[in-house]
Chain A
Amino acid sequence: MISTSAAARSAAQRVTLRNALIGGVGVLLLLSIVRYIANADDLTSSGAFEQALKSAVPILLAGLGGLYAERCGVVNIGLEGMMILGTWFGAWGGWMWGPWWGVAIGVAGGAAGGLIHAVATVTFNVDHIVSGVAINILGAGVARFLSSIAYTPETGGGVTQSPGVGGHIGVFSVPVLAGGDVFGWHSPDVLDWLDTKRWFFASDVAGVLHGLMANLSLLTILALALVPATWWLLWRTRFGLRLRSVGENPSAAESLGVAVYRMKYLGVVISGAFAGLSGAYIVLVTSGVYKESQTGGRGFIGLAAMIFGNWRPAGVLVGSGLFGFADALQTRNDASVHALLLFVGLAAGVGAVLVIRRRKALNIGLFAVVAAGAIAWYVTSDTVPPEFVYCTPYVVTLVVLAAAGQRLRPPAADGLRYRKGQIT
């Protein structure tokens, strides 16, 4: 399906550490400029990035879940349904026995959804998307039904909502930099001090870093640690090699003695477990309670983050950071959202200048039009309608997929049905 030249190109364009750093600093610089011009302090505030991180983690976990399934060749559109199971079981477990049990039971609930998907797609060869759609419908139904049984009015919940989860998952702040405690010693909060000075750039960087270092939920740290762990497991172990070989060429893998079905089962069940963890995170860290349709399509956005990340863990991390930031906008104040129009305009302007070298008139034109449009919108309006803010992560997803769509390289046998003993 994918030509070798495309694969070679994608390898050549792989994000190097240096490029990532330059890009990151560039984005921060642009944000500070916008913050300064628009006088929107919230744009680079610690709170904004704390929120963005919280929004990004469920998308990240869903995206990593998608990664495990698709690396073994099974498309998992059922992530959303498995996340719903994760939210329900996470809340129930948390309500019954406390938050860490909630995590464990939420993960188990998601994994059960993954098992159903594996049975349908691997054993019975049902089309992956069809099975995923069915699991999404089933997940929502199961959650509602269980709620109507478990959360009677006496418990303080109902058909669409659970009672509040008792207890909290601990938080951690980096000592010295973000004022964390070390063995009872309350360390100074250097970044916060720098942040309050409101110096150009320096304070902005401090605000962003402080948001990413202070009050981290232990579950957030676990989720972030799962990114390198996933990379190590899939690219540096025998298990990972086998799992990926099944996603690239199952017939060849089978001929070398890999148990294709077992690998696919493992991949899809792990995928469900990640989705379950993602749902549990929303309940136990973000909201403290289960509410119906709380996942709000984040399973799908996770999938988009995975595609954006070119089926690689680090890429998923970048993608979910972007989508998480867009998702968190809904909770921010009007001025900072409005200022982001200016950011989009300036970023597109920079983009137009950068692509001039490549001499592609269409791309330059597109960037220029977006830049002009966003800046014109910024100048002529005072606020962005909340409906449009709601749409932002979805529009960003579409734009990103449209822009990056052809540089991506999915596993070669992704989404294809496979029966034992079949010849290619």
Chain B
Amino acid sequence: MKLRRFLLNLAAPVAAISFSVAFCWVVLTLAHYNAGTAFADMWDYGNKSESIVSVINRAVPLYVAGLAVALGFRMNLFNIGVEGQFRMAALVAAAFGAWISLPAPLHVFAILVVAMLVGAGWALIPAVLKVKRGVHEVISSIMMNSIAIGVGAYMLGNWFIDKSKTGSLLPRTKPIPASGQMPSLNTPLDALGIRLPAGSNVFGFVLVAALLGLLFKLVIDRTSFGFDLRATGINPGAAEASGVSLKSMTMRVLLISGAIAGLAGMGDVLGYYHGFSTDFPSGFGFTGIAVALLGRNRPVGIAFGALLFAYLDRSAQILDLDSIPREIVVIMQGIILLSVVIAYEVVQRIAQTQETKAAAEATRRMDEADVPAEVGA
């Protein structure tokens, strides 16, 4: 029964991905492109070793953003504000990293702490509005995303801008010194016998992300806080009756989610940009929502989802050479997302029907056997 359930759950994403590929195949064909070439080229290009390194690095922010979203989802809270939280955190943490000087590991640690604080701080407003004024967190956190764009641009342009580089077109923060940069994983990978192509670096932040996932699982599954969180998500009324304070849970979960979101951009800040500029990648927050849904809010699932989306993004770059619009990949991601949530819903219905049938069957058998013990009890 358990195996069957597992297979059913696995069937949902597989069906969603297949449907999405088929759909995009049809779209490409209708638009007079050669869909076969497109997918074959994407597959070849995506599996090159440079691509794999890039996919891993791209997957990290999606994964961390996914964790941030998933934490809220487990309690039926929608932290749509991950986008704003991670951008504000990346900006302020990068400026802080350039400003302070500390010995190497402490420096990195301090930057990460600042990022988490800023992320949580940006989540504080929706959290307070939700708890004190009953404002739905979706609307308020969307507003906070837009405000982050304006406030971030103001802070970068007026407070944090590196004035020594007047020649450069894009405003950016002062660079973080070497002690605040995170080393890549190339040396340890080399020791393990994995040779990376020249010029490719695997972010050291991958380890932090992995640790974060482990922590997520432990906290959700093994602590009383995690139990309260899951209980509230499944049945808020029952949880409250058993002594859980909904308000304090909402507050804590949104703040922790914001803190995780604050880390989403740090792989890039510490491992590649060593600062923040206006061309810093965006959109992690929204893709993070998709990735969390794809992975059913479990760390392992989110990791797969993040890798899949990063793989699609990377492998689509080859389509430019075939002059096929690479935007097809965004459609593919959207369809995957929509069909996977539908598929999970269908799977759940099937599972429920089976359970009902199994229960009915068991009852019938008991009636036939006419077990006296049941009557006696």
Show the binding face of A for B, using Cβ within 8 Å. 77, 116, 120, 124-127, 129-131, 133-138, 140-142, 144-145, 147-149, 159, 297, 300, 303-304, 307, 385, 387-388, 390-391, 394-395, 397-398, 401-402, 405-406
Residue of B nearest to A129 (CB): B78
Query: How far does the alpha carbon of A136 sit from the alpha carbon of B286 in the complex, in Å?
Result: 10
Contact in complex: A148, B338 (CB < 8 Å): no
Contact indicator A398/B346 (Cβ below 8 Å): no
Chain B residues whose C-beta falls within 8 Å of the C-beta of A126 in the assembled complex: 341-342, 345
Asked whether B154 lies within 8 Å of A385 as measured between CB atoms, the reply is yes
B327: chain A residues at CB < 8 Å are 141, 144-145, 147-148, 159
Question: Using Cβ atoms and an 8 Å threshold, which residues of chain B touch A134?
Answer: 290, 293, 334, 337-338, 341
In the complex, whether B331 has a CB less than 8 A from a CB of chain A is yes
Note all chain B residues with C-beta closer than 8 A to A136. Answer: 286
Residues B133 and A406 in contact, CB atoms below 8 Å apart: yes
Which residues of chain B come closer than 8 Å to A149, judged between CB atoms?
Answer: 31, 325
- The answer, yes or no, to whether B146 is at the interface (CB within 8 Å) is yes
- CA distance in complex: A77, B146 (Å): 16
Give Cα A134 to B80, complex, Å: 12
B342 touches A141 (CB 8 A): no
One digit per residue, 1 when the CB lies within 8 angstroms of any chain A CB and 0 when it does not, for chain B 106-138 equals: 000000000000000000010001000111101
- Shortest Cβ distance from residue A58 to the other chain B in the assembled complex, whole angstroms: 16
Q: Does B17 contact A (CB under 8 A)?
A: no
How far apart are the CA atoms of A19 and B158 in the complex, in Å?
A: 44
Is the Cβ of A148 less than 8 Å from the Cβ of B147? no
Q: Is the CB of B154 within 8 A of A387?
A: yes
Provide 6 A-B residue pairs closer than 8 Å at the C-beta atoms, listed in order of the A residue.
A131-B341, A307-B139, A387-B153, A387-B157, A405-B129, A406-B134
**Chain A residues positioned under 8 Å from B289 (CB to CB):** 133
A402 to B139, CA, bound (A): 11
Return the CB mask of B320-350 against A: 1 if under 8 Å, else 0: 0000010110110111011001100110000
Known pairs A126-B345, A141-B331; A390 contacts B139 (CB<8 A): no
Say whether A303 contacts B331, CB under 8 Å.
Answer: no
What separation, in Å, do the CA atoms of A220 and B135 have in the docked complex?
Answer: 31
Closest to B125 in A: A398
Whether, in the assembled complex, B149 has its beta carbon less than 8 Å from a beta carbon of chain A, the answer is yes
The answer to whether B139 touches A141, judged by C-beta atoms less than 8 angstroms apart, is no
The listed residue (B31, B139, B290, B341) touching A401 by CB distance below 8 A is B139
Residue of B nearest to A401 (CB): B135
Contact among B31, B139, B149, B338 for A303, CB-based, below 8 A: B139
Q: Kindly identify which residue among B31, B134, B157, B286 contacts A133, using a CB–CB cutoff of 8 Å.
A: B286
**In chain B, residues 132-167, which have Cβ atoms closer than 8 Å to a Cβ of chain A?**
133-136, 138-140, 142-144, 146-147, 149-151, 153-154, 157-158
Q: Are B151 and A387 in contact (CB under 8 A)?
A: yes
B-chain residues with CB within 8 Å of residue A395 when the two chains form the complex = 143, 147
Cα(A419)–Cα(B145), bound, Å: 34
Asked, given contacts A134-B341, A388-B150, whether A140 binds B330 with beta carbons under 8 Å apart, the answer is: yes
| CB within 8 Å for A145 and B325 given contacts A131-B338, A133-B80, A406-B133 | yes
Say whether A297 contacts B146, CB under 8 Å: yes
- A138-B338, A141-B334, A397-B143 are known; give 11 further A-B pairs, CB within 8 A: A124-B342, A126-B341, A133-B337, A142-B334, A149-B31, A149-B325, A159-B327, A304-B143, A394-B150, A397-B139, A401-B133
Shortest Cβ distance from A413 into chain B, in angstroms? 16
Closest 8 CB pairs of A and B: A141-B330, A138-B334, A148-B325, A387-B154, A391-B150, A144-B327, A145-B327, A394-B143
User: Nearest Cβ distance between residue A195 and chain B, in whole angstroms?
Assistant: 33
Per the bound structure, the CA–CA distance linking A307 and B135 in Å amounts to 10
Residues in B whose Cβ lies below 8 Å from that of A405: 129, 133-135
Q: Check if A402 sits within 8 Å of B135, measured CB to CB.
A: yes
B338 & A297 in contact (Cβ 8 Å cutoff): no
Cross-chain contact of A124 among B140, B325, B337, B346 (Cβ < 8 A): B346
Q: Tell me which of B146, B290, B330, B346 contacts A394 (CB under 8 A).
A: B146
Chain A residue nearest to B332 in the complex (CB): A141
- Residues of B close to A394: CB separation below 8 A: 143-144, 146-147, 150
CA distance A369 to B139 in the complex (A): 26
